[in-house]
């Protein structure tokens, strides 16, 4: 694919603009870690929410969606659509609690919620585990997608793309802190969405329009367009629909969709002006993330099934690309060749915007863990703010180097997605309950992390070794068959078995650890309740001693908001799909559901905020972690 002069002007202009923004905010970011990592807690909801959407929209996201659609049809997207359930929980149950806590990072939470050496241990461990290893794995996955796109579109080598991306990402990130990241996210999101819609329009036009597209896809695979899987195929329905909706959404820790919020979602919430803006940001994020973005990607993926029915078709069309870089996720970038001049520049700029918006956030977030939760906490607690900002910039550069090296160990976006799901399986319930049940302690989290890794890691490795011919037995398949015979249940696929087995074992381990170890000391529990004031029976005994009255939040209001929020987003998502498919009557039903849920939220939100304000008499406007 060749870029015209107009395309290059658009691309270079967008990159230069983002660099200028970073330079503008350099001085502000240098004031201290509060400015560098949470922008002085002064951001509005619309800017934060858009930043969340931009961060979760990266180069690997359309690749992943394309991989899912080409593999098992549109319904395979339930593997991530199900996370809306936990996303809306964050909106109505957790966003205000995070903002009320006043911490600088979500890992600081451990030493206000728990007590003793175990609290410090879990904070320090997760700072390294998440901030370095897990974070770099995510950035490597995102960079791998950029490698595949650049290889197909321009014939660039892996080394060239990794070097180019790393240099620009570090240059943007070390200068501006979170303010620069969020402001550039806004611009990058607009560019990225423009590119997505352009790609969908020209991909659909190339195959003869929507009617022709759907007719050709249906003829090749009658179930490919289904919004829910074919219930006649029990194994498929179980793995991509039932398990995500019944187990995966609450049990799995996944960046951007953490049960209870966390990572860069918590970072954005903590940067909000107040609790209203924190809640508004997460609500807008979930609406845009699940309802606004998916369909352009899905349409391109469906069109790719017509143009490139098999991987061999992609290999033939792009013979210059290395064979090991061709996968179903490559089909998205292969479809971009149909964009005209000008729009090609917008598309490349949008890909760059999607990439850098994600990488900048992960670099800033990862550095916040390494510097605030490890370096300052355990190595240099007396360090000045100026010194910590300098160390943060060094940490950003080191993180990018590690991520660049890890790119060479990954193969596809879907493999990376599934591995992250499995490693985080079973820990999610703790992140939901620790706010509402005083008995959860630091050892609960330590036990969950260790058991999840020890179960998921070997199962994933065994499956890979079997596929590579290194071992003779497919261990996950063997264990699944034995479990099926013992419990008289259907045989589960390897991915489904690994996920369920990790959730079950991890849950048993952390619940046992909770009851076998001592809870946090009474002083820590009382301090936490007075600061955050969670509702529900889980804090009844502590609430009586705290002496600050009931929670400002309402359980019935939160539950109703969660239900209405999920209905709002799913009705928008499936209503859009129904109208695109030409199913007008079905679309009208979804439209009515959307309007009812929107009206319900418009009635409910003032009551939630009014109730919270009435009961927060005597409390500071913002939390302030001890």
Residue 188 has pLDDT above 60, yes or no: yes
CA distance 428 to 424: 8
pLDDT at residue number 549: 81
Residue 24 has pLDDT above 60, yes or no: yes
The pLDDT tens digits for 471-503 are: 999 999 999 999 989 988 878 888 889 889 999
pLDDT at residue number 180: 80
Residue 416 has pLDDT above 60, yes or no: yes
pLDDT at residue number 619: 38
Backbone angles phi and psi of 108, in degrees to 5: -65, -20
What DSSP assignment string belongs to 590-602?
HHHHHHHHHHHHH
Neighbours of 271 (CB within 10 A): 25
The reported pTM is 0.87
Burial pattern 561-594, b for ≥16 Cβ within 10 A else e, equals bbebbbbbbbbbbbbbbbbbbeeeebbeebbebb
Q: Radius of gyration of the chain from Cα atoms?
A: 24
pLDDT at residue number 415: 67
pLDDT at residue number 621: 41
- Tokens 């048993």 belong to 508
The pLDDT tens digits for 339-374 are: 887 788 888 888 888 888 888 888 988 999 999 999
pLDDT at residue number 29: 72
pLDDT at residue number 33: 80
* Residue 398: partners with Cβ closer than 8 Å, 6 or more residues away: none
For residues 192-198, average pLDDT: 89
Pinpoint the alpha helices (H) of 517-616.
522-532, 540-546, 555-580, 584-615
pLDDT at residue number 417: 67
Angle at 188 between CA 290 and CA 61, to 5 degrees: 40
pLDDT at residue number 615: 44
Q: Is the dihedral of CA 571, 576, 579, 583 positive or negative?
A: negative
Please tell me whether residue 59 adopts helix, strand or coil conformation.
coil
CA distance 510 to 516: 10
Neighbours of 554 (CB within 10 A): 18
pLDDT over 70, % of the chain: 96
- Tokens 């959307």 belong to 594
The pLDDT tens digits for 49-94 are: 999 998 888 777 888 899 999 999 999 999 999 999 999 999 999 9
Structure tokens given for 16: 């230069």
* Residue 491: partners with Cβ closer than 8 Å, 6 or more residues away: 235, 480, 481, 484
Average pLDDT, the chain: 88
Residue 618 has pLDDT above 70, yes or no: no
What are 153-160's contacts with CB under 8 Å, separation 24+? 153/1, 153/333, 153/336, 153/337, 153/348, 154/1, 155/320, 155/321, 158/322, 158/325, 158/407, 158/408
Residue 319 has pLDDT above 90, yes or no: no
Q: Which of 582, 142, 71 is nearest to 302 (CA)?
A: 71
pLDDT at residue number 246: 93
pLDDT at residue number 318: 86
The pLDDT tens digits for 258-271 are: 899 888 899 899 99
Neighbours of 214 (CB within 10 A): 19
Q: Are 49 and 284 in contact (CB under 8 A)?
A: yes
pLDDT at residue number 26: 79
| Helical (H) or strand (E) element with 511 | helix 494-516
Structure tokens given for 247: 């187990």
Q: Which residue has the higher pLDDT, 183 or 177?
A: 183
For residues 382-391, average pLDDT: 92
Q: Which residue has the higher pLDDT, 324 or 363?
A: 363
pLDDT at residue number 414: 64
Residue 505 has pLDDT above 70, yes or no: yes
* Residue 271: partners with Cβ closer than 8 Å, 6 or more residues away: 38, 39, 40, 41, 42, 43, 48, 178, 182
pLDDT at residue number 617: 36
The pLDDT tens digits for 224-260 are: 999 998 888 888 888 889 999 999 999 988 777 889 9
Residue 622 has pLDDT above 50, yes or no: no
- Tokens 């080394």 belong to 159
The pLDDT tens digits for 579-613 are: 999 999 999 999 999 999 999 999 999 998 865 44
CA distance 421 to 426: 10
Q: Which of 526, 569, 537 is nearest to 284 (CA)?
A: 569
Band (pLDDT 50/70/90 cuts) for residue 151 is confident
Residue 400 has pLDDT above 80, yes or no: yes
pLDDT at residue number 263: 84
CA distance 525 to 113: 7
Q: How far is CA 274 from the centre of its chain?
A: 23
Residue 1 has pLDDT above 60, yes or no: yes
For residues 145-156, average pLDDT: 80
Q: Are 448 and 253 in contact (CB under 8 A)?
A: no
């Amino acid at each position: 694919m060749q870029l015209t002069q107009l395309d290059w002007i658009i691309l270079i202009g967008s990159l230069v603009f983002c660099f200028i923004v970073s330079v503008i905010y350099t001085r502000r970011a240098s004031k201290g870690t509060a400015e560098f990592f949470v922008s002085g807690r002064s951001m509005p909801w619309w800017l934060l929410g858009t930043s969340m959407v931009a961060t979760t929209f990266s180069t690997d996201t359309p690749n992943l969606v394309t991989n899912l659609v080409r593999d098992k049809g549109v319904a395979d997207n339930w593997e991530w659509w199900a996370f809306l359930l936990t996303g809306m929980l964050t909106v109505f149950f957790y966003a205000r609690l995070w903002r009320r806590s006043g911490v600088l990072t979500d890992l600081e939470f451990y030493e206000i919620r728990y007590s003793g050496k175990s609290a410090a241990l879990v904070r320090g461990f997760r700072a390294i585990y998440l901030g370095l290893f897990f974070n770099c794995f995510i950035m490597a996955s995102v960079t791998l997608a950029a490698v595949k796109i650049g290889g197909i579109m321009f014939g660039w080598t892996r080394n060239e793309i990794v070097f180019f991306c790393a240099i620009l990402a570090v240059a943007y990130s070390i200068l501006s802190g979170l303010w620069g990241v969020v402001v550039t996210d806004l611009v990058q999101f607009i560019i990225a969405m423009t590119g997505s819609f352009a790609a969908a329009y020209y991909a659909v036009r190339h195959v003869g329009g929507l009617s022709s597209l759907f007719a050709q896809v249906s003829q090749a695979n009658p179930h490919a367009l289904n919004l829910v899987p074919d219930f006649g195929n029990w194994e498929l329905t179980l793995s991509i629909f039932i398990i995500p909706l019944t187990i995966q959404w609450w049990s799995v820790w996944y960046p951007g969709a953490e049960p209870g919020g966390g990572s860069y979602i918590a970072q954005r919430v903590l940067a909000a002006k107040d609790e209203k803006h924190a809640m508004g940001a997460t609500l807008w994020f979930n609406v845009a993330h699940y309802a606004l973005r998916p369909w352009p990607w899905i349409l391109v993926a469906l069109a790719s099934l017509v143009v490139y029915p098999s991987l061999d078709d992609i290999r033939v069309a792009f013979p210059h690309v290395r064979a090991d870089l061709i996968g179903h996720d490559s089909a998205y970038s292969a479809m971009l060749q149909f964009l005209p001049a000008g729009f090609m520049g917008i598309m490349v700029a949008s890909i760059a915007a999607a990439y850098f918006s994600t990488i900048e956030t992960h670099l800033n977030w990862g550095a916040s863990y390494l510097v605030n939760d490890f370096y300052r906490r355990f190595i240099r607690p007396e360090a000045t703010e100026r010194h910590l900002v300098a160390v943060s910039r060094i940490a950003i550069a080191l993180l990018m180097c590690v991520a660049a090296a890890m790119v060479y160990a990954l193969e596809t976006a879907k493999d990376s997605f599934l591995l992250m799901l499995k490693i985080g399986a079973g820990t999610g319930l703790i992140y939901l309950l620790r706010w509402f049940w005083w008995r959860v302690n630091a050892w609960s989290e330590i036990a969950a992390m260790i058991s999840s890794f020890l179960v998921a890691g070997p199962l994933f490795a065994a499956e890979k070794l079997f596929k590579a011919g290194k071992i003779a037995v497919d261990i996950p398949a063997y264990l699944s068959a034995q479990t099926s015979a013992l419990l008289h249940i259907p045989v589960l696929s390897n991915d489904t078995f690994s996920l369920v087995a990790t959730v079950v074992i991890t849950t048993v381990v952390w619940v046992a650890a909770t009851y076998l170890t001592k809870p946090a000391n009474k002083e820590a529990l009382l301090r936490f309740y007075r600061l955050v004031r969670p509702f529900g029976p889980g804090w009844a005994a502590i609430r009586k001693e705290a002496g600050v009255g009931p929670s400002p939040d309402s359980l019935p209001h939160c539950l109703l908001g969660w239900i209405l929020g999920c209905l709002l987003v799913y009705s928008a998502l499936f209503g859009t799909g129904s109208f695109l498919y030409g199913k007008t009557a079905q679309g009208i039903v979804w439209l009515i559901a959307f309007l009812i849920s929107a009206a319900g939220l418009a009635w409910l939100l003032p009551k939630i905020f009014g109730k919270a304000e009435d009961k927060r008499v005597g409390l500071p406007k913002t939390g302030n972690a001890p």
